[in-house]
Structure formats: structure tokens, C-alpha cells
Amino acid sequence: MRTFIWKELDGTQRKAALARPKNRRDPTVLARVREIFDDIGARGLDGLRDWAVKLDGYAPRYIKLGESTVDAARAQLTSDDLAAMELAIENVRAFQQAELPGDGPVISPKPGLSLRRLFRPITTAGLYIPGGLAPLFSTLIMTAVPAAVAGVPNRVCITPPAKNGSIHPMMIACAAASGLNEMWAVGGAHGIAALALGVLDGVPAADKLFGPGNKYVTEAKRYATERVSGLAIDMPAGPSELLVIADDTANVKLVAADLLSQAEHDADAQVILVALSADIAQRVIAEVAVQVEGLPRAAIAKASLNQARVFIVSGISEASHVSNLYGPEHLAIQIEDVDAIVPLLTAAGTIFAGTYAAETFGDYAAGPSHVLPTDGAAKAYDGITVRSFLTSFVVQKATREGAAAIAPAAARLARLEGLEAHALAADFRLEV
């Protein structure tokens, strides 16, 4: 974990110190993604099958979530496993239902004018659930449940198989409990191409792609929007990030555990500590070194820690400035006066404020989706919400009285732009 004293860095040094890992945007990744899309676009399911065998080790597999399949999966789980799953789904559903927008009010800026915003679910949502290094069934809950609450009729779920070709029983149980009837065992950039190009048997092409992934998946989502006209994605959601702001009152054991909880995700994950004193920085670094040795995924966490940064700052104003510049996916605050810093924050996927607000709670069971913007995209993007699965449009109505109130102004502005046909379309309303 490299340590920097913020006030001693100039602008160029600060930008370099806050940079994401360089290999997240490797030109070879884009080249491979284009190759995959070109091949699957030309050969369809045959192309997908070849790439899946090459990269996953197995051909794509359709999984019907019928009663026998779901019962068999649930039988491999304990009652405590299932209770934890049900609690998570209950909390996510409750939070998303509370945020579900209704159609807007009728607005009449002038007599005879009627304006109203209506919301509709998208038709087909492609849900990508990571499963290569770890089966992230929590991500399935965090995407499938908001989509169901939004009323999306086609929710297409894909996830890569394990090394032995299986799908974790909890993935199947979560899918069924989240309201899915089927899923596909296929992953990676080729899985994203399958969703975007609509090559899966009986599955329409996605209108929008959802879910986090490694650098290949993230690049494939981005490229898909170039390749397929009208296709949207939820956000840039690549390798995980966590920034922790800590002062001398912070619990060192908890701060270190939070940092490692994200470092163990992926060698390309990045964790950052913004410390309000050199003492708390040194104590956290020492505790991280102790805790990492006991982790089953210690090698991955250590690789991630090579990209870790520690910034020593002079107070909460400077701490918030560093955080806002970075725009973290996850932001944890472990300082004495949490409420004093929150108003200063402008860019974060989600914030965990105070000792007991664990990032892990947000990952699994608190309620808001854990699919959040990475790579600084929190400066402009939200994380997934129920609104992510909705589109909206405004219905505009006008009586003759309403047309008379607005037509002259509209026609004049149109003529100022040199658009006579527009002006006449307004003028003619007054002749009807």
C-alpha cells in the first residue's frame, strides 16, 4: 500500500496517485472483445458455443428453473442459507418498491396545455451475474429483484459455470426466489455478446445490459452500445473499489477488514485509505498485513493491494476533496463526526457511514443494489435502482385555447432558427 501526504503532491502527482489500475483499459482487451462480437455476429449460436468452450470450458447451457431443479438446489443448502437468502430478497424488494415511481402529475403551465410523465418498464433486461472466480448470487438478487419490481417482462440471466461446469445451488435458489423461470450458464464477453446480439435460443436481444464484471465484461458492455443501435447499459461497472476515510477514533480491525473485503474480489480491484493522521494510517496498514495472511483468497487480495493507496490528509475538508476527485464505487466513513463530512461529499456509488455500517451489509442484504459505478463514473452515474429498468416519456396534450397560448412564441423561435416548416406547423394549429 503506497502512502502519500496529500498536501505535498502537486496537481499532476495527485492525478497519477488517484489513477485506476492501467490494465483496466488494455487495448488487447478491446481487440479480443471486437473479435468475439464479430464472430458471434457472423455465426450466431455456433460462434457463441465455440467461444464458450474456449473460455468457459463448456458449451452454453440452458437451465429451466422448474420445480425439480429448484428443489434439488435448495436441498443442497442449509436452512440458515435459505433464511439469509430470503432476508436479503425481502430487504431488496422492500427498498426497490419504496423507490418505484408512479406516473407523474398533470402539469398545466398554460390553460389548455396538459403535460404528464409516464413510466414504463423496458421490454428485455440482460442480467450478467459474475461467477468465474466466485459465484456472486448476491448480484443476481441485486439485479433480478429490481427488474421484477419494475415489471420487466423479459429478464434474461446469464452466469459463467464453475470450473467443473456446475452452477452453484444458491445461484439457482436465488434465481427462482427472485422470480426468474430460466437462466443460461455462459459468461464473459461472449455472454455479453449473446445478450446484445440476441443469439440465445428463444431469447430476444436485450434492450439494456446490467451487472458488473471483469475488464472483459466491462469492455464488452461498452462496446455493445457501439455495435447495437439503441442498446443501453446500466453504467460502467468493472472491478470493485472501496475508499475508506478514517480518523484516530476508527476501529482499525474494522477498517482493515473492509479494505480486504474488496481487495479479495479481483486482482484489478482497488482500495484506498484516506487517513486523517499518520498514526491511523500506519496502524491500518499493519492490521491489513496481519488479516490478509488468513484469507483463502490471500493471493488475489495481495495482488489488489499492489494497487492500493494511502493518503494522509489534514482534515475532513481535504478528505472529502480526495474522495470527490476519486469518485469511489464504495465509500466508508470511520470518523468521529460522520454527519459533518457527508454534506461535503458529491461523488460516490454508495456511502457506509459510521462504525456499524459495513460495506458487506450493502453487498448482501441491506436493500439498495450493490451494482454501482466504478472508474470514477460515480461522478455522473447512479447505481442500479428500480428506475434503471424503466423508461419514461411525456404525453403532451393541447386544446385550441392551449395552442393559441403557445403557438405564437413557438413559431417565432422556430423562425429565429430558420426552420419555417416548424413555424408553419405551429401557425396552422390556429387555423383549425
Query: What residue ranges do the domains of the chain occupy?
Result: 2-21+238-379, 44-234, 399-431
pLDDT per residue as tens digits for the range 278-330: 999 999 999 999 999 999 999 999 999 999 999 999 999 999 999 999 999 99
CATH of region 44-234, choose from 3.40.1410.10, 3.40.47.10, 3.90.1150.10, 3.40.50.1980: 3.40.50.1980
Average confidence (pLDDT) over 101-120: 97
- Position 24 scores a pLDDT of 62
Helix 298-305 and helix 278-292, axial crossing angle in degrees, nearest 10: 150
- Position 169 scores a pLDDT of 96
| Residues forming the active site | 329-330
Looking at the predicted structure, is the pLDDT value of residue 426 above 90? Answer: yes
pLDDT per residue as tens digits for the range 204-248: 999 999 998 888 999 999 999 999 999 999 988 878 899 999 999
Q: Where are the alpha helices (DSSP H) in 210-368?
A: 215-227, 252-263, 278-292, 298-305, 316-326, 338-341, 359-364
CA distance 417 to 423: 10
Q: What's phi and psi for 159, nearest 5 deg?
A: -155, 140
Task: Return the ∠ at Cα 339 (arms to 335 and 345), rounded to 5°.
Answer: 90
CA distance 389 to 8: 45
Beta strand 270-275 with 309-312 is parallel
- Position 23 scores a pLDDT of 63
Strand order in the sheet with 2-5: 2-5, 309-312, 270-275, 241-246, 330-334, 350-353
Looking at the predicted structure, is the pLDDT value of residue 116 above 80? Answer: yes
Q: By percentage, how much of the chain surpasses pLDDT 70? A: 99
Average confidence (pLDDT) over 183-205: 95
Residue written as grid cell 469511489: 328
Looking at the predicted structure, is the pLDDT value of residue 160 above 70? Answer: yes
- Position 25 scores a pLDDT of 66
CA distance 138 to 129: 9
- Position 70 scores a pLDDT of 97
pLDDT bin (cut points 50, 70, 90) of residue 131 is confident
Class of domain 2-21+238-379 as given by CATH? alpha beta
Instruction: Tell me if the pTM is above 0.85.
Output: yes
Average confidence (pLDDT) over 65-83: 97
Cell of 214: 471483469
Mean pLDDT of all residues in the chain? 95
pLDDT per residue as tens digits for the range 10-65: 999 999 999 988 766 678 999 999 999 999 999 999 999 999 999 999 999 999 99
CA distance 366 to 90: 10
CA distance 277 to 37: 49
* Cβ neighbours for 105, distance < 8 A, ≥ 6 positions apart: 116
| Contact indicator for 243, 334 with CB cutoff of 8 Å | no
Burial class (CB in 10 A: 0-12, 13-18, 19+), 15: exposed
Looking at the predicted structure, is the pLDDT value of residue 341 above 90? Answer: yes
DSSP annotation of 107 reads B
